[in-house]
Amino acid sequence: MTALLVAALLYLLTAVFIWRYPDTPSPSRWLPLPALIAHGVVLGMMILHHGSITLGLSEALSLFMWQSALLLWALCWRDKLQALGIGIYPAAALGALIAALDPTPPVMSDPLDWKTRLHVVLSLMSAGLLTLAAVNAVLLAIQDRWLHRLHFPRFARALPPLQTMEDVLFRLIGIGFALLSATLLSGLWFVRDWMAQHLAHKTILSITAWLIFGILLWGRARHGWRGRTAIRWALAGYAVLFLAYFGSKMILEEILGKHWG
């Protein structure tokens, strides 16, 4: 698990570098790469076992944060989004530490078919993009507060203009919403008994999050929602989505002793 500890340290160093040197983006693009590789390889070894998956709460949190950091790293090559690393990379470091300190014992199960694999990939991609959107919304709220107080710290230089941040927010939510829609539809392929598989509460919360993001996108297109209204809706949708997976998973594993991916 040493690799996970090293990855956590590199994530934190990247976040500190972005904070201290907001006008020097190049090192912040390369510094997290070895952390992402090490984190991803070790997680793969912990989760995948001969076609089956062991995905306990620790691994799920770690994977959730890793793929959000990976998406951010990839997006930074096109857009000036390094500032999101202030929130994403420390979260990825925490995820690496959780996986290293509290691993789930391997559970052998039947290999997953291609439909289930597709559902897992879509779920991770939608969650990753919507995590970035949530971090974007938090930074947008901070920017808005700075603007009203006429106070701009040095870190503010690392952030794109307010309008650009809003455009990025809705771009992330739009793509994440499409992937979340595909995730919900693909989930119908392998659901046999909602209650027996303990999926009813997770599905209801996921659909609620989907509705919140859908209303936000409709409000943006129809009424031009922006600013604090957009921030509140975005964060509410993400909170429900986070609860759908991790809140339900925690109850099932820690209280009921059940497992699902």
Q: Break the chain into its structural domains and give their ranges.
A: 1-111, 114-261
What is the reported pLDDT for 203?
82
Q: Can you tell me the mean pLDDT for 142-155? A: 74
What is the reported pLDDT for 143?
85
> DSSP code of 251?
I
Q: Which residues pair with 49 in a beta bridge?
A: 52
Spatial distance between the Cα atoms of 12 and 120, rounded to a whole number of angstroms: 28
What is the reported pLDDT for 110?
57
C-alpha distances in angstroms, 1 versus 37, 44, 197? Answer: 14, 13, 32
Among 22-31, 90-99, 127-136, which is the least confidently predicted range?
Answer: 22-31
Residue 186 burial (C-beta neighbours within 10 Å; 0-12, 13-18, 19+): middle
> DSSP code of 246?
I
- How many angstroms separate the first and last alpha carbons of the chain? 22
State both tokens at 141: 């709220």
> DSSP code of 102?
S
pLDDT at 218 over 80: yes
Residue 247 burial (C-beta neighbours within 10 Å; 0-12, 13-18, 19+): middle
DSSP notation for 23-63: T-HHHHHHTHHHHHHHHHHHHHHHHEETTEE---HHHHHHH
pLDDT at 109 over 80: no
pLDDT at 179 over 50: yes
Q: What share of the chain is helix, strand, coil (3-state, %, to 5)?
A: 75, 0, 20
